[in-house]
Amino acid sequence: MGVDLQHSVFVARRRTLRLRTRVTLFFAFIALLAGVVLIGVTYGFARSNLLDEDQAAAQQQAFVNADLVRAQLTTDPGDIGAFFENELRTDPDGFAVLNSIEPGGDRALTDLRHPLTDFPEPLVDSVRARRSAIQNETIDGAPYVTVGVYIAEYDAGYYEAFPLENTESTLRAILTALLLGAAGTLVLASLFGLATSRRLLRPLSQVADAAEEIASGGLDTRLAPESDPDLDRLAGSFNEMADAVQTRIEREARFASDVSHELRSPITALAAAVEVLDARREDIPERTQQALDVVVSQVRRFDSMVIDLLELARLDAGATDLTVEELRLTDLTRRVAARFGEPDIPIVVGNGTPASVALDKVRFERILGNLLDNARNHGGGALRIELSPSVDGRFRLAVEDAGPGVAHGERDRIFERFARGSAARHRIGTGLGLALVAEHSAAMGGNAWVEDRVGGGARFVVELPAHVDTFGAPT
């Protein structure tokens, strides 16, 4: 269950939106909310006003037409149908109906294309109750304003329908314009939010970039002063922190360098004295010889450790420059292997491996020599050296052994200083050889790692650019 919970937390963190995206979405949401409210209020207000105007105009026109019908009924009631057909001025898309109201029911006075049943029942009921009324209604799928006028002199009801199609078209145009305006506002707000988030997060990006540069070794990286007081405070605090970190790291580096340097003289003297005793080991008892062997091995190990510490201190301080020269890769590898006690080790050269490389010979010797020593001390000796091409003008140097190998959980840590794999905890060595391999590889723009060897054992690989400039970057 704990694993599932950790997995859920990891997934939740991985799916979290970036701060810049959230700021942009916030601006977009505010614009969308404001647009919806504005559209609702504006459209509602426009619709209400237009419909009120249409109802007022329809009611006024209906009363005028009802007066004309009353006059026609007074002068010539028998010709009322022709009057409706030819003389009554209704809207071209509207229509009118005249019905008499009697206790037994309605008697139609006109026979036109729309019967009384097309009008809304509440409107007809109001006229039957001797009251005039007005109501919006949909007839045959089209919107209308219907007006009912009671004509008391003839106990009749006059009904007229006024089309609202033009009004609805106007409202649709208004709604379309509002939607387009809201969409444009949403886009502009999103762009403004994106620009604002970039401007607001620019100092954080600068802090992150500066922190990455410091983490990669650029301890002199600092932030420029800002015009904004709050941002200037952030920049100042970061620079103070960077100054403190740089001072502490440089102090620790100087301390390690000074200690290593101060130890060098007594270790040298002690090593010389031990060598003198070792040369006269026949003059001392056998048990003393055993103690002398322990002292000799430990003094030599201590001397090697001090030398390695001095070298690491110089690398940390950046006091060692690259000396690049053109070299024959295979010949250089064979000479270094012979110098480190492996003159007959097989050297396998893969197809496409560059014949000549431009790199620092001393650093390359330290890398290969330390890998051979590591294989001798912890892997039973190196089995072979492999040179092979890589991508982007790089090549790989690999040293293979048939030892116990390196556990997967230790493969990154094994290149740290004084780190030892579980299989090498009780063996000889200073714990600094592979750290020097990693440091020299990085100085030349490369990297180092360890992997399993086919058939068992470890395979230590260093990838380097075939051409390195004086600053340690591939050319």
Look at residues 88, 68, 72 and name the one whose alpha carbon lies nearest to residue 80: 72
**Bridging pattern class, strands 347-349 and 382-389:** parallel
pLDDT of 288 reads 77
Inside any domain, residue 471: no
Q: What are the angstrom distances between the C-alpha of 254 and each of 227, 302, 347, 416, 444?
A: 37, 20, 40, 19, 23
Q: Which one of 316, 350, 377 terminates a domain?
A: 316
Q: Residue 30 contacts by C-beta under 8 Å, 6 or more apart in sequence?
A: 189
The verdict on 58 and 99 lying in the same domain is yes
Q: Residue 356 phi/psi, 5° resolution?
A: -120, 145
Tokens of 29: 């949401």
- Give burial (CB, 10 Å; 0-12/13-18/19+) of 201: middle
The verdict on 310 and 338 lying in the same domain is no
- Calculate the CA 301 to chain-centre distance: 49
The verdict on 158 and 192 lying in the same domain is yes
The verdict on 44 and 86 lying in the same domain is yes
Inside any domain, residue 222: no
The verdict on 310 and 407 lying in the same domain is no
The verdict on 200 and 246 lying in the same domain is no
The verdict on 22 and 117 lying in the same domain is yes
Inside any domain, residue 199: yes
Q: Compute the distance between CA of residue 68 and CA of residue 38 in angstroms, rounded to an integer.
A: 45
pLDDT of 312 reads 63
Q: Compute the distance between CA of residue 295 and CA of residue 350 in angstroms, rounded to an integer.
A: 45
Q: Which one of 301, 316, 331 terminates a domain?
A: 316
Judged by DSSP in three states, 162 sits in strand
pLDDT of 275 reads 75
Inside any domain, residue 6: no
Q: Compute the distance between CA of residue 374 and CA of residue 379 in angstroms, rounded to an integer.
A: 7
Inside any domain, residue 114: yes
Bridge partners (DSSP) listed for residue 76: none
List helix spans (H) across 216-228.
none
Inside any domain, residue 8: no
The verdict on 450 and 331 lying in the same domain is yes
Q: Which one of 188, 216, 244 terminates a domain?
A: 216
Domain enclosing residue 203, as ranges: 16-216
Tokens of 305: 């450790």
Phi-psi region of 405 (alpha: psi -120 to 50; beta: other; left: phi over 0): left
Number of compact structural domains in the chain: 3
Look at residues 50, 19, 286 and name the one whose alpha carbon lies nearest to residue 168: 50
Q: What are the angstrom distances between the C-alpha of 284 and each of 137, 188, 270?
A: 126, 93, 19
Tokens of 92: 């071209």
pLDDT of 11 reads 47
- Please tell me the number of Cα atoms within 13 Å of 141 on its side-chain side: 0
229-279 vs 165-215: helix crossing angle, rounded to 10 = 30
Inside any domain, residue 70: yes
Written as tens digits, the pLDDT of the chain (475 aa) is 444 544 544 444 455 777 778 878 888 888 888 888 888 898 888 888 888 888 898 888 888 888 888 888 888 777 777 777 777 777 778 888 888 776 544 444 554 567 778 888 898 888 888 888 999 888 888 898 999 998 888 888 888 888 888 888 888 898 898 888 888 888 888 888 888 777 777 777 778 788 888 777 677 788 888 777 877 787 888 888 888 887 876 676 666 566 656 666 676 777 677 777 777 777 777 777 777 777 776 666 666 666 666 666 666 655 556 778 899 999 999 999 998 888 889 999 999 898 999 988 888 988 998 899 888 888 888 999 999 998 888 999 999 988 888 888 788 788 887 766 655 554 556 677 788 888 888 888 889 999 988 888 899 999 999 886 544 445 5
**CATH number of the domain within which 246 lies:** 1.10.287.130
- Give burial (CB, 10 Å; 0-12/13-18/19+) of 418: exposed
Q: Do the beta carbons of residue 374 and residue 460 sit within 8 Å? A: yes
The verdict on 246 and 293 lying in the same domain is yes
The verdict on 206 and 244 lying in the same domain is no
Inside any domain, residue 221: no
Look at residues 44, 229, 55 and name the one whose alpha carbon lies nearest to residue 148: 55
The verdict on 176 and 238 lying in the same domain is no
Look at residues 371, 365, 367, 366 and name the one whose alpha carbon lies nearest to residue 384: 371
Q: What angle do CA 22, 25, 27 make, to 5 degrees?
A: 115
The verdict on 253 and 175 lying in the same domain is no
pLDDT of 257 reads 60
**CATH number of the domain within which 422 lies:** 3.30.565.10
Q: Do the beta carbons of residue 325 and residue 358 sit within 8 Å? A: yes
**CATH number of the domain within which 130 lies:** 3.30.450.20
Q: Compute the distance between CA of residue 114 and CA of residue 95 in angstroms, rounded to an integer.
A: 7
Q: Compute the distance between CA of residue 17 and CA of residue 25 in angstroms, rounded to an integer.
A: 10
Q: What angle do CA 428, 430, 436 make, to 5 degrees?
A: 130
